[in-house]
Amino acid sequence: METRKRDLIRAFVRGGILSPADLLRIIGLSRKLGNRYIMFGSRQDIMFPSNGADINFLTNAFRAIGIDFEVGSDQSEYQNIVSSYAAVHLTETTPWVKEDTYHFVIDNFDFRPKLKINIVDPAQSIVPLFTGELNFIASREENFWYLYLRNGNRVECWPTMIFTQDIAKIARILEELVLTFTNASVDELFTLVQARGCITSRPIREVLVYPDNIMPYYEGLNAMLNNLYSLGLYWRNNRYDADFMSAACRLCQETNIPKINIIPWKAFVIKGIKSADRIRWEKLMGKFGINERHSSLELNWHLPVIDNEALELKRFLVRELDQQDISTHGLTFTIKTKRDMFFFTSIVIEKNNAIENAERYNILYARDFNPNNIVYQVYAHNVPKEVIPALLIELSKLYFRQLNPEREPVSPGAKVTAQYGVSTSYQCTNCLTIYDKNYGDPFANIPPGVPFEDLPETYTCHVCDSPKREFRAITPTHHMPSRPSSSSL
């Protein structure tokens, strides 16, 4: 019988940080239920089939481990706290945001959140910024954080910055208010929070700035920024072998590695491996036949848990792309087959379910290929599966052409949405491909900066060859994170 999401146990690993001893206990529990593996979720949680386990048994088992859990639900009542703890020493980070900073913030949460909460550093790219409903994002001012509230695809900035010590406090207050006043605007919520008092805040002096979203190659043994090593491991089917994972936990204990880090790409990272211990890790992986150097084509995909259709499509695309001249370094991908998802990758392959019994897909990409922009454009519409690899190759080339463009800096206090206030985009009414003045059309040798109106009358859509007259001006439906407005949360 195929496992369904409602049949899974979900262990909430706060911040994606847990000790080798706790992971060993969770693996042991999965074994007791007849499983030979565990899985990782995109919100840094651990999952495995419940196999009809008694709820009282599970409650006692997780209480002994000291980790919250949930079982038997398609829509989770509680949510995990996501953090970019794994990025410290692994990539460039904001100088004052240390591992101890994350521990302090997360340890202050004395309740089980029902809203998705992110504690993230904008200087890193391994953990997306806006996948939570409450997103606390480190500023350049020490111990102060931006707060962005998300509802669906709308993301809005809280009027003031939040003090590190108050993150858990304001999260609890906001969760109560958001769940009570479901249509309250950010301004209204801000007024209600101010009435509670006891929150240390600071005016926002500059807008949030984040670098280009270039994913690091985290898999395998890699040198860290502190002269130690990290080991990142990824399983194609997201089923991590219990025997190997148990052996890895024991080696962590033997070599004094205190924490294991789960990352949103359904993978995990072990940080702080000493040079003298590298050979022990290499021998362990050799013993279990672990491939630690997958192609970058394999990595950085977001697929729904236990979605075989999405997994098979990914396998098809990876096989096809592996035969071509393509680099995907820095790009991330989502496959959406059924339910609604909040996108947080550079490129999205979305099944068109409007057509029954047909494998047709829409291809979308994030503005500047940076998913933190929360703006997605349709690149191709209603295409068959066999065409997708060619379109991904086109998009990868477009991505590398637009890297490090010369852009005017955003002045402190400016609304980021202002640069998108006037439409620069026109969409083909037949296949929904978009011409954007900011990018031009490299396939037709049109450089960036050329308005659609100035294109020659002979211009045609590079996907379906529709003439210029078949394009219509569009206004983006998603919005960049901005300063507060009167719109509803």
Beta bridge partners of 56: none
Give the end of a domain, one of 203, 220, 239. 203
pLDDT recorded at residue 212: 66
Could you tell me if residue 247 is inside a domain?
Answer: no
CA distance 226 to 410: 33
Torsion of CA 402, 406, 408, 414, to 10 degrees: 30
Give yes or no: residues 366 and 488 share one domain.
yes
* 3-state per-residue secondary structure call for the chain: CCCCHHHEEEECCHHHEECHHHHHHHHHHHHHCCCCEEEECCCCCEEEECCCCCHHHHHHHHHHHCCCEEECCCCCCCCCEEECHHHCCCCCCCCCCCHHHHHHHHHCCCCCCCCCEEEECCCCCCCCCCCCCEEEEECCCCCEEEEEEEECCEEEECCEEEEHHHHHHHHHHHHHHHHHCCCCEHHHHHHHHHHHCCCCEEECCCCCCCCCCCCCCCCEEEECCCCCEEEEEECCCCCEEHHHHHHHHHHHHHCCCCCEEEECCCEEEEEEECHHHHHHHHHHHHHCCCCCCCCCCCCCEECCCCCHHHHHHHHHHHHHHHCCCCCCCCCCEEEECCCCCCCCCCEEEEECCCCCCCCEEEEEEEHHHCHHHCCEEEEEEEEEHHHHHHHHHHHHHHHHHCCCCCCCCCCCCCCHHHHHCCCCEEEECCCCCEEECCCEEHHHCECCCCCHHHCCCCCECCCCCCEHHHEEEECCCCCCCECCCCCEC
The angle that helices 55-65 and 20-32 make with each other, rounded to 10 degrees, is 160
Beta bridge partners of 37: 241
Give yes or no: residues 313 and 458 share one domain.
yes
Answer yes or no: are the C-beta atoms of 88 and 99 closer than 8 Å: yes
pLDDT in tens, the chain (489 residues): 456 667 899 999 999 999 999 999 999 999 999 999 999 999 999 999 999 999 999 999 999 999 999 987 656 789 999 999 999 999 989 999 999 999 999 999 999 999 999 999 999 989 999 999 999 999 999 999 999 998 877 888 999 999 999 999 999 999 999 988 888 889 899 999 988 877 778 899 888 877 666 777 888 899 998 889 999 999 888 999 999 999 999 999 999 999 999 999 999 999 999 999 999 999 999 999 887 777 778 888 898 888 889 999 999 999 888 888 787 888 899 999 887 778 889 999 999 876 666 788 999 998 888 888 778 888 888 899 999 999 999 898 888 887 765 544 433 333 333 222 234 578 777 766 778 787 788 778 888 888 888 899 899 887 778 889 888 776 443 333 333 332 233
pLDDT recorded at residue 307: 85
Give yes or no: residues 303 and 177 share one domain.
no
Give yes or no: residues 198 and 334 share one domain.
no
pLDDT recorded at residue 252: 98
Could you tell me if residue 192 is inside a domain?
Answer: yes
Give yes or no: residues 357 and 461 share one domain.
yes
Residue 132 tokens, joined: 């939570």
CA distance 176 to 167: 14
Give the end of a domain, one of 203, 228, 249. 203
Q: For residue 279, count other CB atoms closer than 10 A to its CB.
A: 9
Give yes or no: residues 198 and 299 share one domain.
no
Answer yes or no: are the C-beta atoms of 347 and 332 closer than 8 Å: yes
Answer yes or no: are the C-beta atoms of 3 and 238 closer than 8 Å: no
Give the end of a domain, one of 155, 172, 203. 203
Answer yes or no: are the C-beta atoms of 240 and 38 closer than 8 Å: yes
Give yes or no: residues 309 and 161 share one domain.
no
Could you tell me if residue 238 is inside a domain?
Answer: no
Could you tell me if residue 359 is inside a domain?
Answer: yes
pLDDT recorded at residue 381: 85
Q: Which residues are within 8 A (CB) of 195 and not within 5 positions of it... i.e. 6 or more apart?
A: none
pTM of the predicted structure, to 2 decimals: 0.81
- Containing domain of residue 195, as a range? 91-203
Give yes or no: residues 339 and 462 share one domain.
yes
Give yes or no: residues 461 and 329 share one domain.
yes
Q: For residue 36, count other CB atoms closer than 10 A to its CB.
A: 13
pLDDT recorded at residue 410: 35
What CATH number corresponds to the domain at position 427? Answer: 3.30.413
Give yes or no: residues 315 and 189 share one domain.
no
Closest CA to 300 of 248, 367, 369: 369
Could you tell me if residue 365 is inside a domain?
Answer: yes
Could you tell me if residue 402 is inside a domain?
Answer: yes
Rounded alpha-carbon distances, angstroms, from residue 432 to 81, 425, 457, 461: 37, 11, 19, 10
Could you tell me if residue 1 is inside a domain?
Answer: no
Total of domains in the chain: 2
Could you tell me if residue 34 is inside a domain?
Answer: no
